[in-house]
Structure 1
Amino acid sequence: MKPSAAFPLVFRLAWRDLWSEKVMALCLVIGLSATAAPLLLLAGLKAGLVEGMRTTLLQDPHIREIDSATNRTFTATWLDELAHRPDVAFVMPRTRTLAASVLLVPRDRREEARRVELLPTRSGDPLLGNQQARLPKGQADQNIILSASAAASLHVQPGDSLMMRVSRLGTPPETALQPLRVAAVAPASASGRDVGFVSLPLAEAVELYREHTPPLDWQAALQLGGKASNDQRNVETLYPGFRLYARHMENVPALSHWFAAQNVDVVSQAGEIDRLLTLDRSLSALFLLTAILGISGFFLALGTGMWALVQRKRLSLATMGFFGVRGMLWFPVFQGECLALAAIGLALGGATLMGAAINLVFAHVLPSGQKLCLLQPAVYGAALGLTLLGAFVATVLAGWRASRLQPWEGVSAP
């Protein structure tokens, strides 16, 4: 018999033989799927738990934030070099906290005045989310983005007008007035305090007006704020602090260690991120060990089952060889692939249903849209690919045994 005709014949015979013993095949499929389903469910639980924690952390813009802890001198050049590091996404200088508190007064409602802290910002600020603090160029000193709590306290919304009152001690005390427009309201996650996000020149002007020696009037302070200060004072601008955002959450611990090596005290979420990464590694190691045992059991059961099949059907297989059927190597391999695919399909279906049930049971304790069991498409693809490859490896020994059967064994007594 030609090989081109032998292979289709072997596959047809293998399928008909498998179908003739469908009860035994079904029992084997159920046994194999019972081994694989818990592994798939465990993979979904691991992914859901870690991904849920990661999503919860990433929804907090402060998770990637690193703040200088104490007032000290940072040059604009040093901060610019810091901003160009590949693991840094955003850097913004800070002015002195004690000099950054101002009184905001809504138009015609002086009784609703509110004291807020000014934070310098620019386009791309992670705290502001989709708003991104796009203060109009040329009018940056007239715009402010309020935190949600500040906007609620002042009863204002985007487009409303405010008057900023900047007071300084002296003899006599003086107060500068600066009209502002509410450009936007920041997301509630940006800050739980009363904060106003303004351009760096405006924040610097407030600090200069209060602390410069000799005292400056407000217009002079505005002119010296920001980049103009470098030109007019002919010295590099110095800042007492900064806030920085790592490019990725995983960069925060390394950046915190780098700052510690530079003797710069910072405040960050490095400890919480380290715990999450440690949990991820621990769960991955636990899952890997469990998966190795489970997968080994799955394919060992399949391989021994196919070997037993060859031994049990030795007479029939040898008889097929006696009649000239070639390619007997593929007889148990094809049957093993069919059984393995049926088993993994049943396991995937069972794990999907069980995962949906788990998510339904825990829906009331999880944040909206978050799942405790997350079976991603990559898991389905990996399971199918590993099954095809593993089933071939597990059954090829049984196929070798079938191919070694001699035709005379088919006409001899068993």
Structure 2
Amino acid sequence: MSTPLVLIELYADRLGGHHQRTLTALAQTRPGTLVITPGGAPWAVRDALRDADARLVTQAAGRPARLMTASSRALERVSRAGQRLLRRCPARVRRWPHQITLVSRLLAEAAALRTARRLAPGATGVVILSASEALHGAAAGLGGLPHLRFVHELVTREDAGVRLLGLLGRPWEDRVIALCPTRTVQEQVSGVFPRLRVKVRAFAVDDGLPLTPAELSGARTAFSIPDQDAVVCLVGGWWPSKDITAVDAALARLTEPLHLIVAGSPTDPMVLARWRDLPLVHLHTVPGPVSEPVLRLVYAASDAALVARPPDTGKESGLVMDAARLGVPLIVSDHDPALTARLAQEPWARVFTASRPDHLAGALDALVRQPLALPGPDAPAAVGMATATGQAAFLIQAARELQEPLSCPPPPP
């Protein structure tokens, strides 16, 4: 019988991204998996976990865990208030609320680990799917449980007060393995936490559910797009990791008509209004957050997904992974040399120079004239994505490295 996992996802209640999809895909491979989502989970996720014979827990178990959860939520409210009050202050001052957020996330993770220790004593594969970028050892110490933690990116660095907490938690850093989705993130994490064990592992998994012929044949009707027209989708909120400036300039340079589906949030209404007025752009918008069925509809209607990022953006692109797993061609910037190397010979991907609107406009015009090939079943592996079954096996094997005796005693229960 396969070993169940313990999966902790603090953001399972949020639409968008890969939080829910990865969570459910992993649980489906291991019957009896314990899933801890302190913020709750939508009904679709609950139904999928029930069908997978997973045990879903949304409340902290035990008095210490409940106190940590309450403290975490109080600190997060303080952080949000501080961000509003200090938004016009110098950058060094605006950092303060984010330091509070790091402590809040520490307490939330520790509470979830305590809950896991109480409900699944002796569990092997304990994984925080969306972990904080700081206080790794402190989470293991306060939570009293060795674990794996996916660190998706390094956004907030520890200031003096948080570094002190980090020093106090350092004896437990050997109870943690950080999993980073790309080599770039791994190098960043290792540079800040040289004592921490770090492995490179893509977060998104192939759930084996590419777009079906039925989805592909009917999707354009929902957007009133003729079958013969070219369509590109731009999915996800316009965060700093998206090069919307390059997209904006490229669309104004088009020489061929193009349908553009923009899905997700946040977006800039003024930019969208400008695109709507462009003579060769037919704009369709799907405000976010976007559910999985709607996301599949957007991809099914598209000839290609567009991923534009500034140079040297090294974190994992969930949109690239979406294109590969769903079977959608890809137009992507060369922001990540490792990703560019993976895609160099793929007939379903076209790479353009990052932050070069003229290169992007050329790639979009070329799509109109000559559509890209459809990705085959080997596309997920080509971008480094494991199957859900393979990912679960990897997590169990990595977690076994943490089963030797603790280098210092755990905290009292």
**Alignment TM class, shorter chain as reference:** under 0.3
Normalised by the length of structure 2, the TM-score is 0.21
Q: Could you say which structure has the higher helix fraction?
A: 1
TM-score by length of 1: 0.21
Q: Which protein has the larger Cα radius of gyration, Structure 1 or Structure 2? A: 1
